[in-house]
Chain A
């Protein structure tokens, strides 16, 4: 057996892969948070609950309507995105003139309500979601066996993250979004319906969370707490990466997942806290975060 730094190779690579998987979820979730924060100036505390909704909707589609994983990958973000549009239009949009803090409190409250509703309806023990046939099994990579579904999650997350980055940095829609983030009244005075753009941005960020939720369903059991379990770490990722930077969220998300995975190998006791240790260090050295821009 190959040994690396005195650690069996398969163990090391296995944890690295797990780290990449977690990192994929961190990246997708913090990306959505960054996009929403840029446009709405609101820290969307409901993000974890919407991620959980994404997983639940795919479970509901499968168990009540017989709609499988791949259609759910599109349908669930769409449905949760529409839910996001309703939330933004009816509740969140009332807070834009107030301090940041109100948005944070409101979305935190929303997440408690959403999670409570699902807990009432489905309990908190969690329900399994089977890996789709096509993605079950494992592939021998030579140095390790990789479960196909896990490889798929990393690849899908990468594609989604990079597409989002491309849309924001390279398209005219993205240019309009960036401009509105900088100076919304000016963009509106050019004829852009900024309130609608804000609603669609929220829906887009929410749809990203739901997409991550569908990807997560077969890995973690589908349960009302799955969002809260993730979201603390995701907020740390956002703080480390620097709020508002798109590429920063992606790199930090994947990077911290890997750091967490490696910690599990070399010093397992610290694996649950390492992200927060990194956060403290980054905040001390660079308060704006690794990729944050000056205010």
Chain B
């Protein structure tokens, strides 16, 4: 579904990604693990075309994405839920939810999104998206890309800084959308959470993928992981 090969990325003069290689197969939930500053967010942004300069190859359903504009990549069927959530304060909650255009059939209906996140239904009338709590903003940021029909979702630390109940709710959501055939690339610091949703884990260090761990081997790889993540 998504094949990343020799991906390099720069912010101005700083060379951040040094040949990232990995793949995500259709229907999988795959995580990128790694310390702060390893380049996980930059990888997500590079896939989406949101970095100033990138080289290498990002193939989505066999089509090259490097060289396309972010809007063209989105239309190909990839959607991002960014680390900073990207909720718009000048838009109401409903406007935020309805903002991303439909790019393909098969997305969730608004009603289905409200079923996954009942809080959003209650807060739908809120005039400024940024008035929501952090957890609600995260639900909105995930919910709005489920509508678009994009089947490849990039979720950048969706559980960061959230209360345990909300983390569980987001975990349930990820398993639910996996069952519906979505493919997810998930950035996580919290590998205990990652273990509950993912099929495989890639470990990033200094702008490269340094290891791949299938989920069933995660338990037995704990020592190695602790070393990678420095926890």
Contacts and interface: CB of A to CB of B under 8 A. Distances in A.
Interface of A: 172, 175-176, 178-179, 181-183, 185-194
Most chain B CB atoms below 10 A, which of A176, A179, A185, A194? A179
B100 A190 contact: yes
23 contacts: A175-B98, A179-B90, A179-B91, A181-B90, A182-B90, A183-B88, A185-B50, A185-B70, A186-B86, A186-B88, A188-B70, A188-B71, A188-B74, A189-B48, A189-B74, A189-B80, A190-B74, A190-B79, A190-B145, A191-B71, A191-B100, A191-B103, A193-B69
A150 B145 CA distance: 50
A281 B71 CA distance: 45
A190 B88 contact: no
Given A172-B98, A183-B86, A190-B74, 15 more contacts: A175-B95, A175-B99, A178-B91, A179-B95, A182-B89, A186-B88, A189-B50, A189-B73, A189-B82, A190-B71, A190-B100, A190-B101, A191-B71, A191-B75, A191-B100
| Main SS class of interface, A | helix
A90 B10 CA distance: 28
Interface string B85-122: 01011110001001111010000000000000000000
Contacts of B145: 190
A193 B71 contact: yes
Interface residues of B, number: 25
B148 interface: yes
* Interface residues of B, dominant DSSP: loop
Nearest to B144: A190
Contact of A191 (B82, B91, B101): B101
Nearest to A189: B70
B135 to A, nearest CB: 20
B148 A186 contact: no
Contacts of A192: 71, 101
Contacts of A172: 95, 98-99
A190 B99 contact: yes
A190 B101 CA distance: 7
A15 to B, nearest CB: 38
Nearest to A181: B90
Contacts of B90: 178-179, 181-182
A104 B91 CA distance: 29
